[in-house]
Amino acid sequence: MELDSFFTDPTRQSPIVTRPNRSIHFGQPSDNSPTIQTAQNHFSFYSTTSPQQAGTTSANNGSLTPRAPVVHCFVCDHANAKVKILTDQFMEALIKNGIKVYVERYLTHQPGYQVRAASLNTTADFFFQIHSKTAGPGHVRLYLGGQPKRMTKEEAVSAVWSWWRLRCGALTKDEVEVISHDKILTLLKDFANINSEDLDFSLLQQQGRELIDRGMSVRPTLTRLHEFETILQNGKSQINSARTMSTDWSFEPGVVLQRCVAVPIVSGLSAPLKELLNMIIDQTIRKARSITSVLERYYISTPPLERLAQEDHMNEIPIDGEQRVGDGSSWRMMIESVDEDRMGSMQIASYGDGHNFVQSVDRIATPVFMLDDF
């Protein structure tokens, strides 16, 4: 009885988290006043519009308003008093913040592989586990991709709304300014079909540098760069064609679901998020074009040694061949001179050479200058 009274004492109740159409606050309720002492969270909303006005504004603008998230709560050891109390408190916190909850209870402990399988096969948007080992300190486990992450119930409510707004593309300007690198990559993959692992510009720069230093053709690298640019352009088109998502959320009280069924996710992109993703893609396209410009300027369709061997049946050693080591000097020179119009140091024929000069130019392998001559 003392344990039950300890966890049910109103002065010891868990902090209450406000709904995400306002700043996410944590506060401790008081017996003397119904007000809540608040503290601002990193993910915050500064809107002064009431929930009813927010729904009207979204409807007038024609923007999308996402539905509330659904949480699957997988409870093990429910016969344990601590587990039961934590489950009730967690469900109350979720419902107060407009989250729908489906609870699956087991009186005894369940093996880890079964919990992981349930998390991967759930039709809910989020999967949490509560069991006796984590209930003591008041922790729950959020499963993402089959991997558990321990957190408090207050952190869990905040994480649900943060990840849900990210998944729906409903981030405000303030959230966009503090968004992490990993979440940006997630958004690009989900909304633009751009996987950062497939766009390795550092590798292409290294390959292009080595090919030019060796006097070899850079056609494969150029082809790959053009493919990268096509992927980026297609991704930008997908972002611009995405529906506009509202950042205002009309309040609907959370409920306890009797069964969990799959519900489609209404997703789009808020205006600040579209602007951010377009800016990132534009910067990447400029980088790709800059590398392409360097490689095209110093493009070698046929390696000089092979061309000389075909024409003169001899294997001459290129001039300054020993100096063109892979120390990066040639590549740096190309980058520095990419915007210049210098032709290089080709041998200019004397005045009056006439037709012989044209033939001599025709016999010079492309490019007609040595990179180290700059």
Domains along the sequence of the chain with CATH: 2-41+67-168 (3.40.50.800), 317-373 (no CATH)
How big is the chain by its Cα radius of gyration, in Å? 31
**Residue ranges of the chain whose pLDDT lies below 70:** 1-62, 299-374
- For 309, phi then psi, to 5°, come to -65, -35
Contact 234, 199 (CB under 8 A): no
Query: What pLDDT is attached to residue 44?
Result: 31
Name the E strands within 12-63: 16-17, 26-27
Cβ neighbourhood burial of 197 (10 Å; 0-12, 13-18, 19+): exposed
Model pTM? Answer: 0.60
Which 8-state DSSP code applies to residue 106? Answer: -
Which tens digit of pLDDT belongs to each residue from 299-349?
655 555 555 555 555 455 555 544 444 555 555 656 555 544 444 433 433
As a whole number of angstroms, the distance between CA 319 and CA 323 comes to: 9
As a whole number of angstroms, the distance between CA 95 and CA 92 comes to: 5
Helix (H) or strand (E) holding 163: helix 153-168
As a whole number of angstroms, the distance between CA 366 and CA 369 comes to: 8
What rounded mean pLDDT belongs to the chain?
A: 72
Find the distance separating the first CA and the last CA of the chain, reported in whole Å. 87
